[in-house]
Amino acid sequence: MTRRPNILFIMSDDHAARAISAYGSGLNSTPNLDRLAQGGLRMDRCYVTNSICTPSRASILTGTYNHVNGVTTLDTHIDNRLPNVAKHLRTSGYQTAIYGKWHLGEGKAHEPTGFDSWAVVPGQGEYFDPIMVHPDGERTHPGYATDIITDMCLDFLKARDRDRPFFLMCHHKAPHRSFEPHPRYRHLYADGKLPVPETFDDDYGNRAAAAEAAKMRIRADMTYKDLGLVQPEGGDEVGELLVPYLRDRKVPQLKPGGELRLMDALTGQVHVFTDPQALALFKYQRYMMRYLQTIQAVDDNVGRLLDYLDAEGLSDDTIVIYTSDQGFFLGEHGWFDKRFMYEESLQMPFLVRYPAGIAKGTTTLHIACNVDFAPTFLDYAGVTVPSYMQGTSMRPILEGKAPDDANDLAYHRYWMHRDEFHNAYAHYGVRDARYKLIYWYNDPLGEPGAYPGGEPPEWELFDCDADPYELVNRAGDPAFRAVFKDMLAKLDRKMAEIGDVPEHDSRKVLAALGA
């Protein structure tokens, strides 16, 4: 029997591809993540099926879309009796383990199953001195979460059965909000000179109402805690509450003629603002500094794992993947956070190194999705992909053997309509090699007024080649009528294929177009 590869799956939380230097943005330096890109493949169109933590994790584990695995929102926890990729690999002889962020629920009905060893943070977990849930109960672990999670992975590797392959999921909680860096990184990216995205001052003109309605704006919606600033004592006069049941307040915007004084929570330095745009850019720089500092710990800790594989002579036999549960806005369109099908939040970074099968230093524009991860692991492990899984193995893409991109298509559906933190609207759509069609269904078909204060349904169509920042909605443009109809047909076919139920009625949509 040929030797089966080990699989080391490293996933962080909310890490945008632009914040990995191998992706070429010039924002930061991640030498250890870049080792994977140099020694393997960088995917530029790996997409998430639902741009939010919990559902993405369910799709990765089960190889199914969220309307099938039932994990559509942050509050719908996984039924851990469902089959998952770890169970299949374990049955086939792999040693399996997961450490770090789980975020699929706690308790006997939701905790990890399919793993020989596990320890996970409850919910989002904490950056410092995290509590971790073990099979025999909870314990507090002194230290920094990113280091601790890696220590657990290394302990598992050192204690492993060397005669059997392993499947190890290393799930960092970083760089998730509230972006708390370890003190050893506090000197990095601190000069306030990080490049500002071209679309930072986006006015959301010509886009669906959802874009303007979202409470994900750096200039308006970040809290004192997010930015490492002292929250002054006081009520509404010092800032709007993030949500009524938390005491976190948003740093206010400047009123005309006003002045705002902000104190750094670490150094006590006071920053004084009288210009609204200067304040918005200060918030951007603070946010990005803290975000990139938390990523530096991830990069260093990926390096520790890669060094161990090298020292043990395991690198040739181990598939190493680095990804994140979705993308993240880093000031594009003026936003932080994710949730939307726009490219920055839809794209998952995906680096994979496997010297025995994947050419080094390569990139691909082929589209793959997180539902494809589980079938890929099983394919490499020589395990039959079960019929319930809806993804397909990415192996032809990873090995440069995929056919042309004519049939490439990603499906995304976000279900958490107007959550109280972000006010992001529910939507679904498809993205092919060139175009993206989004349907903001808002008030579902047949249920007018189901969401009081909601907006009427809207379509968005983007030409991702000509308009990579997705600033010009072509859905109503007569010149794009044929493209719209083609993308609508692709959406209908995809929803039928995966068994999701549309909120739109294509006959009515086409009739309205006069088609």
Binding stretches for Ca ion (CB under 5 A): 13-14, 53, 325
Query: What span, in angstroms and rounded, lies between the C-alpha atoms of 413 and 410?
Result: 10
CB of 422 to Ca ion, least distance (A): 13
Q: For Ca ion, which is the closer residue by CB, 60 or 368? A: 60
Task: Enter the tokens of residue 363.
Answer: 């990139």
CB of 34 to Ca ion, least distance (A): 22
Nearest to residue 123, comparing CAs of 110, 136, 109, 141? Answer: 110
CB of 295 to Ca ion, least distance (A): 13
- Is the preceding peptide bond at 175 cis, omega within 30 degrees of 0? yes
Q: For Ca ion, which is the closer residue by CB, 226 or 325? A: 325
CB of 12 to Ca ion, least distance (A): 8
Compute the 3-state secondary structure of the chain and give helix, strand, coil in percent, each to the nearest 5.
30, 20, 50
CB of 324 to Ca ion, least distance (A): 7
The alpha-helical segments, DSSP class H, found in 312-410 are 343-346, 373-381, 395-398
Q: For Ca ion, which is the closer residue by CB, 229 or 341? A: 341
CB of 15 to Ca ion, least distance (A): 9
In total, the chain counts a number of residues equal to 515
Q: Is 20 exposed, middle or buried (0-12, 13-18, 19+ CB in 10 A)?
A: buried
| One-letter amino acid of 314 | L
What DSSP element (H or E) covers 429? strand 427-431
CB of 53 to Ca ion, least distance (A): 4
DSSP secondary structure code for residue 333 in this structure? G
User: 258 to each of 233, 276, 284, 430, how far by Cα in Å?
Assistant: 19, 9, 20, 45
**What is the per-residue burial (b if ≥16 Cβ within 10 Å, else e) of 33-57?**
bbbbbebbbbbebbbbbbbbbbbbb
506, 508, 514, 515: CA torsion to nearest 10? 30
CB of 131 to Ca ion, least distance (A): 19
Query: What span, in angstroms and rounded, lies between the C-alpha atoms of 137 and 135?
Result: 6
Q: For Ca ion, which is the closer residue by CB, 338 or 474? A: 338
- Is the preceding peptide bond at 178 cis, omega within 30 degrees of 0? yes
Q: For Ca ion, which is the closer residue by CB, 53 or 61? A: 53
Task: Enter the tokens of residue 126.
Answer: 């904490």
CB of 247 to Ca ion, least distance (A): 24
3-state secondary structure of 423: coil
Which residues partner with 41 through β-bridges? 352, 362
Query: 10 Å Cβ neighbour count for 3?
Result: 8
CB of 14 to Ca ion, least distance (A): 4
Q: For Ca ion, which is the closer residue by CB, 20 or 53? A: 53
CB of 292 to Ca ion, least distance (A): 17
Q: For Ca ion, which is the closer residue by CB, 14 or 408? A: 14
Query: What span, in angstroms and rounded, lies between the C-alpha atoms of 26 and 90?
Result: 40
Task: Enter the tokens of residue 169.
Answer: 């999921």
**What is the per-residue burial (b if ≥16 Cβ within 10 Å, else e) of 174-212?**
bbbbbbbbbeebeeebeeeebeebebbebebeebbebbe
- Report the residue closest to Ca ion, judged by CB: 53
Query: Helix 373-381 vs helix 53-62: angle between axes, to the nearest 10 degrees?
Result: 30
Task: Enter the tokens of residue 167.
Answer: 């499947």
Q: For Ca ion, which is the closer residue by CB, 13 or 226? A: 13
Task: Enter the tokens of residue 343.
Answer: 């490219």
CB of 13 to Ca ion, least distance (A): 4
CB of 296 to Ca ion, least distance (A): 18
Q: For Ca ion, which is the closer residue by CB, 325 or 379? A: 325
